[in-house]
Structure 1
Amino acid sequence: MSLFRDEWGIPHVRGASPAEVARMQGWVTARDRAWQLEIERLRGEGRTAELLGPAGLEWDTFARRARVAAVARAAYAGLDEETQEFLTAYVEGVRSGLEGASCPELEGLGAAPGAWQPWTPLAVFWVQQILFGSFPSKLFGARAAMVLGAEAALFRTEGLSGGSNAYGVGGGRTASGAPIVAGDPHRLFEAPNVYLQVRLACTDPDDTFDVVGMTFPGVPGVQHFAHAGRVAWGITNAMGDYQDLYRVDLRPGGDVVRRSVETVLVRDQEPVEVEVLETERGPVVLDDPEEGWGQALRTPGHDLDDLGFGALLPLLRSRSAADVESAVAHWVEPVNNWVIADVTGDVVHTVGGRVPRRDDAGEWVGWVDPLPRRTASAGGAVVTANDRCMPEFGALASAFAPPFRAKRITHLLDEAGPLDAEHAVAVLADTAQTAGEPLLALVPAELLPAAPAEWHGAMDGSPGAAWYAALRAEVVDRICAAPSLAPLREPSPHGPLYAPWFSLPARVAGALHIILAAQKPFGLDPRALVAEAARAVHEAGDPAPWPEDHRFWPLHALEQFELPHTRTAPATPLPGDTDTVRCNAWIPGTTVTVRGSVARYAWDLAHRDNSRWVVPLGASGDPDSPHHTDQHDAWADGGAVAVVTDWSLLTEEKTCP
C-alpha cells in the first residue's frame, strides 16, 4: 500500500485490497486529524469527561442514555464479514497512525490517545447524526405548543437555520455533453473541518475501485459525496421525520424493561453514576425522577441495531447510478436525498434511509416504501435544498426547509449557458436574498433609503445588504419582545445541549416569512412593527457592511465544551445568508456565523480531473502544517480547487507504514 498527496495535502491512498486501502486511510487520518479522532471516539463512548472534566458530563450522560456505543457495537455485529474486515483494517490503521502523531491539544491536557475498537467508526458516525434528526425540534415544538397553542405553527420549519444544496444536470446542459453533480453540505463550522477530502484506490484486478470524495474523520470509505470515475453522487438532508419521543412511565411496573447504572469517570472529580433506562420504544433520554415520567427516543438505528454501514463497500464499487441506488438501499439514517449521475447520462434523485410509517396512535407499523424518486432528461436538472422536492415527500415529513434556495438554484441553472465545473461551483456561491421579500413589502416607501431601493438582494458588502440586515435584526428583536413569547425567551428546559433548538431569536428569524404573512402573529401588527423597525434603523445611521458583521467562526471541540482554546482559524468576513444559496447562516444578536458550507464540490462525468472540491480551512488539523488553512481563501471566495487524479502529478509520502 502507498500514500500520495496533492499540492493541498489531500491524501491519495492506493492498496492491493479493500482492507489495505482502509488500513492506510485510517493511518493517514490519524496523522492528519489525531485530536479530532480522539475527541470523537470519546464522544461516541460517552467518556469526554475523562479528558475534559465536568464540561463533558452533559454530553456523556446523553450518549450513555441514548446507547450510542451499544447500538454501534450491535450494528457492527450485524454487518457482513467483509465489511467487518474493512472496518477492522481501518481501526488498525488508526491505532498505528496515532502512535507518535502530533496532537497539541492532547499534549496540552497531558493525555494520550485511547484504544479504538472495530465498532468505533460506527459510534463516531452516529455522534455526527443523532442530533441531526427531528427530535430536538420536536422538543421545541412541544414547548411552543404549550405556550402558544395553534400559533406555534408559525414556527413550522424543520431543524436549525441553514441547509444543504445538491443538484444534477443532464449532458444537454453542460459544455462537455456529460452530466455534472454539484453541491455543498451545510453544517456546524468546526476546526478542523467536519469533512475530510480523500482518494481511495484499490488495485486488486478482481475488485478495482478509484474514488475521490469526502468522509467524516473516523469513518472509512466515502459516504456522502464522491466521484468514482463512471458515477458520481452528492446528498442533502431529506428532512425525514424518522425520530419520535414518547412519554413513558418510569415507575416500577411502568414502561421500563431494562435498568442499568453506568459510571462516568470525571477528570479531577469523583465519578458520576448515570442510570440507563430502556423501554420497548427506545432508551429514555430525558426524565423527571420526581414526577416518575420520562421521554424515550425511538430511531431506526435503535429499532434495527443498524447504522447503514452495509452501504460503504457497495458505494466504493459503484460504476453506475443503478449501483449507487443499490448501495443506498442499505442506508438507515439520517434520511438523505441522493443526487446521482453516471457516464451513460443517467441523472437520478432518490431518497435513502428508513422512515417509519405510523398508525393513528403514533406507533411504528413498518417503513415508507417506496421512497420518492425522480430522474432528469439530458436537457433537464434535479435540485434539492432540504425543500419539499416533490409531492411524494409528504410521506417523509410535514415540515421542510423553505423553497428559496431550491428555486434560486433552479433559476440560475435555467439562466446559465452550458455548464462546466467552475460554473457549477459559481452557482453554489450565489448570495441573492429572496426570502426577504415579505419583509421588504411591509416597509413604507418613504423609509426605503436610496441605496436599498437600487439593491438587487445580494447579501454582500453593499449598502443595501447592510440596511436589510439591520432592518431584519430590528424586526426579529421586536417580535421576540412580544409578551406572549416571554416563556419562550427562557433557556432550554432540557439543558444547554438543546439550547440551539430553543433559541427564540433563531426560531423567529428562520420563520420570519411565515410570521410576517400572518394577520396578527403573537398579537402583533406586522405592518406597524416593520415601519417602527425601519424608523429605528434610519435613526441609527449607516450600519456596518454585512460581511464584517457576519464572520466565519469555526468551533474547536474545546470551545464546543465551553473550555479555553487558542484560536488558529481566521475570522473571515462572509457574504451569503441563511436562505441564500451560499447558506452562511445568520445568528441573531451576534457578528459571527457558525453554520454554513463545510464542503463544496462539482463532479464532472466527462473527466474527473475537470472536477472541483474544497473545504474551509484545509486537510490538516495541525496548526503547524502548511495544509492547516491553505484551502480557506478559495473556499471563502466561493470557489474550489482542482481535483487531481494523475498519480504522476502527486507526491508519494515516504513516512507511511
Structure 2
Amino acid sequence: MALRTRRSWAGRLGRGLLWAVLLLLVAVLAVILWLKATSTPRVQGTVTLAGIEGPVTVTRDGWGVPHIRAGARDEDAMFALGFVHAQDRAWQMDFQRRVAQGRLSEVLGEAALPQDRFLRTWGFQRAAQSILPALSERSRRLIHAYTVGVNAGLAQGKLAPEFRILGYTPEPWTDVDSVSWSKLMAYDLGGNYDDEVLGTHVLKRLGARGLNEVLPPYPQGAPTILSRDELGLTGRATRAGGQTAVLPAATVQALRTHLAAARSLGLERVPGKGSNDWVIGGQRTASGKPILADDPHLALTSPMLWYLADVRGPTLHAIGATIPGLPGVVIGRNDRIAWGVTNVNPDVQDLYVEPEGAKLTERVEVIRVKGRPDVRLTVRQSAHGPIVSDVGAGEVGPRVALKWTALQPGDTTFDAFFGLNYAQNWQDFVTALERYVAPSQNFVYADVDGNTGYYAPGRVPIRRGWDGSLPVPGDGTREWQGFIPFARLPHTYNPADGLVVTANNKVVPGGYPFALGNIRNWSEPYRAERITSLLTAKSTGLTVDDVKRVQLDTVSLVWRDLKPFLLATRPGDDLSRQALTRLRGWDGNETTSSVEAAIFEAWLAQLQAMGQDELGGGTRINSLAVLNQLRADGDLCHDESEGRQDCAGELQASLKRTVGDLSARLGPDMGGWTYGRLHTVASDHRAFGGVKVLAWLFNHSTPTSGGTNTVNVARPDPGTMRQTHGPSYRQIIDLSDMNRSVYVGSLGQGGNPLGNHVSDQQALWASGAYLPMSTDERDWGRTRTLTLRPGR
C-alpha cells in the first residue's frame, strides 16, 4: 500500500513537472510572439508623415535592401533613409549615440563606467557638436531631413527588443546625433595613440633596438600605393627624429585604461585589421571599362555596422553602404562614378607630456548610472587637448595630453561625403574631397567614361624635426606646423599602368616631401603584395569574376615567409612531429577544411605573444615582428624563467603548447582538427553578446576561411580562435554596366533578432557570394513597397 502511494505521488509529481515545463514554454513563446509583433516595422502599404513635400516609395527587395524613390526633393529621399534606418536599426543607432555621448551607464549600469569615463575624457560628443556650424547649407539641410525622418521612424512605436529588455524608450533624434558616430569611426580608423603608449613602454624596457623589434619599420622594397613616377618625385627620403619623453610605468598603465575601454567597445587596432580597395583601368579589363573593388575590414558585430541602401531623389542618385545614424552613402556609386575607401592611417595623434605650470582648464562631467548614484568626473584640458593620463584614477605622474585632428573644430567631412554622392566626374570628386578632414582614407575612383584615380585626403599634421612616433614634451618645442596642403596630398589620375592597389600599406616611397606617418605606421605589406600579384597575373581581360576571386583569396604569404623557420623546429613530442609532417606539404590556403590552417594560426598566435614576459600580459607583436625575431634570433625569443636562450627553444616550446591546446579542444585525432571547427565568425551583440540567456538570440556565427594577413582577412582572436574582425562589407563595381555590380554585408539588413533579414547575408558573405548592386527592379527579387505620403 505504501509502495503504491509513493508511485502515485511520483506520477503526480512527474505530470506536474511536465505541465510546468509546458506552461513555461508557452509563456516563452508568447513573449517571443509579443516582442515580434511589437517590434516588426511596417514595410507595406501607405503612411502619412510630416516632413516631406512629396510622396516617397520605399521598395524593399528580397534581402531587405530599401530602394528609395523621391520625386519632389533630395531632402525627401534623405528623410526616407533616416526613416528606414530607424525602422530597422533603432537600437544600434541609440547605442552608437550613447557611445559618442558617454552615456552607456544610464542603461547598462556601472559595468559601463570605464567606457563612459574614457568617452567623456576624450570628448567625442563635444567634438561632434562643433561639426554642424562648419558645414555647407546643403549638408545641413540634408542632415536635418535625415533627422526628421529618424524621428518619424521612431514615432511608429515599433520598439526594438533591446529597448524593452532594458526598460527604456529612445529619446528624440537630433542633428548632432546624425553626425556624432563619425567621431568614433575616426578613432577606430585613425591615429597611433596605442603605438605611442606601447612604444614608450618598449623604449624604457628594451631600448631603441627593442622598439624596432616590437614595432618593426615598414620593410624596404615592400609595395607602396603610389610609385615615384606617379608622384613625380626626384628627391631623397627625409628622416625625422627628435626628443621624446619616456613615461613612468604608472602613467603608461593609466593610459592603457583608455585602450582597454575602447577595446571593450570593439574600437581597437588589431594585427591584420585593415581594408582592401583597388581600381583597374579599362586597358586591363575584358569590357574596356574600369572595375572598382572595396572591402573595409572592421569589427563584425550584430547588427552589422553597414546598411545597404539605394537612395534616389531628383538629383541625388546613390547606392551602396550606409551607416545607420549617419546620412548619405559612405561607400558605393551613383550613375556616373564609383568610389571605395581604405584607411590611410597617417599619424594624426600626438601625446604631449605637459610641463609643471602648464595652464589647464577643468570641466565636470556628470555620469548617470542605472541603479546607482551619479558619478562626477573632472576632465582637465591643456592647449594641446584633454589630459588622458588621469581618467578615473586621479593624477598618476606626468600629465599627458592628446592632440588629434578629429577633436579640433571645423570638421567638414560630411560635406565631402555628400559631395561624393553627387559627383559626376573626377573634378567633382576632387572638389568634394577638399572638404575631407578625418579619418584619412585611401579613396579609389572610377567613372563611366573610363577614368580612374586615387586620392588620400584629410588633415595630416606637418612636424619639423620629430616624427610623432613617441610622446614628446609639451613645452612648445614640438608643435604642428599646419597641415599638408590638399593639392600636395598623394594622388594620381589615370595612372599609366591602369592599376591602383591599397591595403593599408605605405602610401608613398622615399622622396615625398612630407611625413604622412612614421616608419611604423603602416600595415604589413602581405595583402598589398598578394593583391597586386593576382591582378597582374593577367595583363588584360580581367572580369568581375576575376576580381571576386582576388577579394576572396585566402592564401597566406605570412606562411610563405615563416615556413622555413617553422619547419626547422625540432619536435618535442609525437603530436608536434605529426603537426610538422602535415605542414610540410601545405600550400598556405586557409580554408575551413584545412587542418594545417588550424595548426599554423594557433602556432602564430603563440609566437605573437613571445614578448609578454618582457612587456607584460596583453602585448602582442605582429607577423612581421615574429619573422624578424626568427631571422635575427631576437631578444624576445629568450625567456630566462623557462630556460629558453634562443628562438629554436621558443619554436619548440610554442609548437608543443599549440598542439596540446588543439588536442584538448578538438580531441587527440589530428585529422579532426579542421580550421572551421574553431575558426568561426563572432558577430556578437554589443550589449547582450556575453549574456548567456540572451546570447543565443542576438549572436550569429558561422565557420569562415582566411586568416592573419590573407587578402580575405580573418585573423583568429588569440585564445578563442574566433574571427571578430574582417570584411564588414564587400563591393565590386563594373563601370561598363553599373547594374552588373555586386555587394554584400557581413550579416543582414535587420537589427531585430526576430526579424526576417537579421542574418540572411551571412551565409552568402561566408561562402563568397554577393547580391546584385542594381537600381533595376528586375534584379530585386520579391519586393514589398511602403509609400510615404506628406501630411501635417
Return the TM-score normalized by structure 1. Answer: 0.90
> Residue in 1 aligned with 2:185?
128
* 2-structure distance, mates of 1:114, 1:510: 47
Contact 1:548 1:574 in 2 (8 A): no
> Residue in 2 aligned with 1:186?
297
> Residue in 2 aligned with 1:209?
316
Contact 1:462 1:545 in 2 (8 A): yes
SS of the aligned residue for 1:418 comes to: coil
SS of the aligned residue for 1:61 comes to: helix
Cα distance, 1:291–1:413 mapped onto 2, change above 3 Å: closer
User: How far did 1:562 drift?
Assistant: 7.8
> Residue in 2 aligned with 1:149?
207
Contact 1:173 1:378 in 2 (8 A): no
* 1-structure distance, mates of 2:183, 2:406: 9
Contact 2:316 2:421 in 1 (8 A): yes
SS of the aligned residue for 1:466 comes to: helix
Pair 1:101 & 2:158 matched: yes
> Residue in 2 aligned with 1:241?
347
Deviations 1:377-412 (A, max 9, x none): 476211000001331677211220111000100111
> Residue in 1 aligned with 2:600?
468
User: How far did 1:439 drift?
Assistant: 2.3
Contact 1:480 1:508 in 2 (8 A): no
Q: What is the aligned counterpart of 1:373 among 474, 479, 491?
A: 491
> Residue in 1 aligned with 2:687?
558
* 1-structure distance, mates of 2:417, 2:611: 45
User: How far did 1:77 drift?
Assistant: 1.5
User: How far did 1:298 drift?
Assistant: 1.2
Matches within 5 A, 1:165-564: 165-203=276-314, 208-223=315-330, 225-248=331-354, 253-256=357-360, 258-287=361-390, 289-291=394-396, 293-306=398-411, 308-360=413-465, 361-369=477-485, 370-377=488-495, 380-391=498-509, 395-398=515-518, 399-416=521-538, 418-442=541-565, 443-444=567-568, 449-460=580-591, 461-476=593-608, 479-480=610-611, 483=613, 485=614, 487-489=615-617, 503-504=618-619, 506-508=620-622, 511-522=625-636, 524=638, 525-534=646-655, 542=670, 544-559=673-688
> Residue in 2 aligned with 1:3?
58
Deviations 1:416-461 (A, max 9, x none): 4623323312211100001123421112288574442221110112
Matches within 5 A, 1:153-164: 153-156=212-215, 159-161=269-271, 162-164=273-275
Pair 1:139 & 2:197 matched: yes
Mean CA deviation greater in 305-314 or 90-99: 305-314
Q: What letter matches 1:316 in structure 2?
A: N
* 2-structure distance, mates of 1:307, 1:563: 43
Deviations 1:220-271 (A, max 9, x none): 0012x1111211010110111111111225x7x5331x21112111111000
SS of the aligned residue for 1:112 comes to: coil
Q: What letter matches 1:220 in structure 2?
A: P
Q: What letter matches 1:601 in structure 2?
A: Q
SS of the aligned residue for 2:212 comes to: helix
* 1-structure distance, mates of 2:523, 2:216: 6
Deviations 1:208-229 (A, max 9, x none): 1311111221000012x11112
Share of identical aligned residues, percent? 30
* 2-structure distance, mates of 1:517, 1:21: 58
Pair 1:33 & 2:89 matched: yes
* Stretches of structure 1 lacking an aligned partner (at least 5 in a row): 490-502
Cα distance, 1:559–1:521 mapped onto 2, change above 3 Å: farther
Contact 1:164 1:236 in 2 (8 A): yes
Contact 1:35 1:103 in 2 (8 A): yes
User: How far did 1:579 drift?
Assistant: 0.5
* 2-structure distance, mates of 1:564, 1:294: 43
* 2-structure distance, mates of 1:189, 1:434: 24
Pair 1:602 & 2:732 matched: yes
> Residue in 1 aligned with 2:713?
583
Mean CA deviation greater in 171-180 or 377-386: 377-386
Mean CA deviation greater in 25-34 or 96-105: 96-105
Cα distance, 1:55–1:643 mapped onto 2, change above 3 Å: same
Q: What letter matches 1:153 in structure 2?
A: N
User: How far did 1:286 drift?
Assistant: 2.7
User: How far did 1:533 drift?
Assistant: 4.0
* 1-structure distance, mates of 2:656, 2:778: 63
* 2-structure distance, mates of 1:560, 1:65: 26
> Residue in 2 aligned with 1:496?
none
Q: What letter matches 1:5 in structure 2?
A: R
Q: What letter matches 1:366 in structure 2?
A: G
Cα distance, 1:514–1:195 mapped onto 2, change above 3 Å: farther
Q: CA RMSD in A?
A: 2.4
* 2-structure distance, mates of 1:110, 1:513: 51
* 2-structure distance, mates of 1:438, 1:48: 44
* 1-structure distance, mates of 2:92, 2:61: 22
Larger radius of gyration: 2
Cα distance, 1:70–1:440 mapped onto 2, change above 3 Å: same
Mean CA deviation greater in 89-98 or 149-158: 149-158
SS of the aligned residue for 1:280 comes to: coil
User: How far did 1:293 drift?
Assistant: 3.6
* 1-structure distance, mates of 2:654, 2:104: 45
User: How far did 1:510 drift?
Assistant: 6.6
Cα distance, 1:403–1:89 mapped onto 2, change above 3 Å: same
* 2-structure distance, mates of 1:572, 1:591: 13
> Residue in 1 aligned with 2:764?
634
* 2-structure distance, mates of 1:560, 1:282: 34
SS of the aligned residue for 1:97 comes to: helix
User: How far did 1:566 drift?
Assistant: 2.2
> Residue in 1 aligned with 2:68?
13
Equivalent residue pairs, number: 631
* Stretches of structure 2 lacking an aligned partner (at least 5 in a row): 1-55, 218-268, 466-476, 571-576, 639-645
User: How far did 1:306 drift?
Assistant: 1.3
Q: What letter matches 1:126 in structure 2?
A: K
Q: What letter matches 1:302 in structure 2?
A: L
* 2-structure distance, mates of 1:230, 1:527: 57
Return the TM-score normalized by structure 2. Answer: 0.76
